[in-house]
Amino acid sequence: MNKIVIVGTSHHTAPLEFREKLTFSDSELISTLKTLKHHQQIEEIAILSTCNRVELYAVIKPSAKVEILSDYLVALHQIDRGEFDEYTYNYEGSKAILHLFRVASSLDSMVIGESQILSQIKESYEQALSAETTSQLLNRLLTKAIQVGKRTRSTTQIASRAVSISYVAVELTKKIFTNLESKSVTIIGAGEMGELAVRALVENGASKVSVVNRTCERAERVAEMFDGTATIFDNNLDFLIETDIVISSTTAPHYLVQIEPFKEIMKKRDNRPIVMIDIAVPRDIDPSISNVENTFLYNIDDLRHIISSNIEERRQDAKTGEGIVREEATNFNEYIKMLEADPTIKALHQRFDQIIERELCVCVNKANLSDNQEQIVRSMTKSIIKRLLHQPTKNLRQCFISSDNDQDQNIQIVQELFELEQFDKLD
């Protein structure tokens, strides 16, 4: 039976600097999917790449080892193997299923209960479907993971008490500016995360929103939501002179705000305080800017400090969610075990069908039955066999689910009992 495996890294196991090395752009992700799908040991593959985690979900052949995915990532991103092993994890079988269900339910998120991870898994699945790198098992697994995520959110209060990135942005800003009224906000990039953060700031009193982006159309659309202004980013940082709060969330591969130009901007600002929240991975803002006087720079890992103060309130809901996830993981493991029984069940039915055909041929010839009579006898015989095999089939599936014995031994017993390996050699 093919194996479900996961290789990945997340905010739990790795610092931002390492996660940056492992991220995939959209084009890299698609090309990697297609490359791995053609690996002779890999049957199915999907990739989740976010600011907090990168995970590969795969179905590999029984003889294959999970290291084939690790080896590929090390070579692709040119990462030191010792560093890779230190900051990554891998799971197989039931542990992989449970992990994915926990991720989809946001129980493994930096912000427990956040909703974005579920849409990110959906997007990851859609990308894999588009690249045609999934099949029956991974399709079923990812579909079920999305269903589990929805169930956890709908049957607990975990979502209503979730701490979002936007909430954290407000809390960080309030540490510097007690009152956000009349404060101006600039968003660099026009993505969803940045947009949500700005919306939260505006709802808490901030005003004078401006959107800076590479493309004018997107910038204008987001600016219109807040009655703000749109500016094209052209490496000129003058847009920072009049702003109080900066939210940066782009997909740029390098720093957009660098230390030396920023120092000049601060002189023009007369060193007025500025809060800069960089939620991009890779980062948009040179981290050394945090050393500039009256500059308060936070990256996505800094958000943990505020998040931790809210964990206790959601602990009970998380426990309930864990129960749901474990129940669903157990059910899916039973489904996997039943799949292992399918070839034997199919062979059992073929064995009986072959017996039916042999005996019907003899019966029809001896009794000289008409076509209508033959059809009646054939239908009756098949119905009898179907009824006879119903309970044994059900019991066989249950045997695969509940038995602690080696499943190969179960298969061998059934094959020997009904001579399934010889159904082409009937007397």
Percent of the chain predicted with pLDDT > 90: 54
pLDDT at 357: 81
pLDDT at 112: 82
Which amino acid is residue 294, in one-letter code? N
Burial of 423 (0-12, 13-18, 19+ CB in 10 A): middle
The enclosing H or E element of 368 equals none
Percent of the chain predicted with pLDDT > 70: 91
Taking residues 397-419, report their average pLDDT.
65
- DSSP output for 239-259: GGSS-SEEEE----SS-SB-H
Burial of 177 (0-12, 13-18, 19+ CB in 10 A): middle
Q: What is the pTM of this model?
A: 0.64
- Annotated catalytic residue, options 51, 216, 361, 363: 51
Can you give the length of the chain in residues? Answer: 427
Q: Give the model's confidence band at 427: pLDDT under 50 very low, under 70 low, under 90 confident, else very high.
A: very low
pLDDT at 131: 95
Rounded distance, CA 229 to CA 241, Å? Answer: 15
Least confident of 19-28, 260-269, 365-374: 365-374
Q: How far apart are the first and last CA of the chain?
A: 32
Show Cβ contacts of residue 38 under 8 Å, excluding neighbours closer than 6 positions.
none
51 is catalytic: yes
Count of CB atoms within 10 A of residue 236's CB?
A: 12
Q: Which is more confidently placed, 121 or 367?
A: 121
For 129, the token pair is 């479907």
Q: Are 19 and 93 in contact (CB under 8 A)?
A: no
Least confident of 11-20, 270-279, 411-420: 411-420
Interval 110-166: pLDDT, tens: 878 888 899 999 999 999 999 999 999 999 999 999 999 999 999 998 877 546 677
pLDDT at 403: 54
Taking residues 86-107, report their average pLDDT.
96
pLDDT at 411: 66
Structural domains of the chain in order of their starting residue, each with its CATH number = 3-161 (3.30.460.30), 165-306 (3.40.50.720), 333-422 (no CATH)
Q: Strand 53-60: give its sheet, edge to edge.
A: 42-49, 53-60, 3-10, 89-92
pLDDT at 47: 97
Asked whether residue 340 carries a pLDDT value surpassing 80, the answer given is no
Q: Give the model's confidence band at 424: pLDDT under 50 very low, under 70 low, under 90 confident, else very high.
A: very low
Interval 152-188: pLDDT, tens: 999 998 877 546 677 788 888 988 998 898 899 999 9
Show Cβ contacts of residue 5 under 8 Å, excluding neighbours closer than 6 positions.
57, 58, 59, 60, 66, 69, 90, 91, 92, 96
Taking residues 344-364, report their average pLDDT.
80
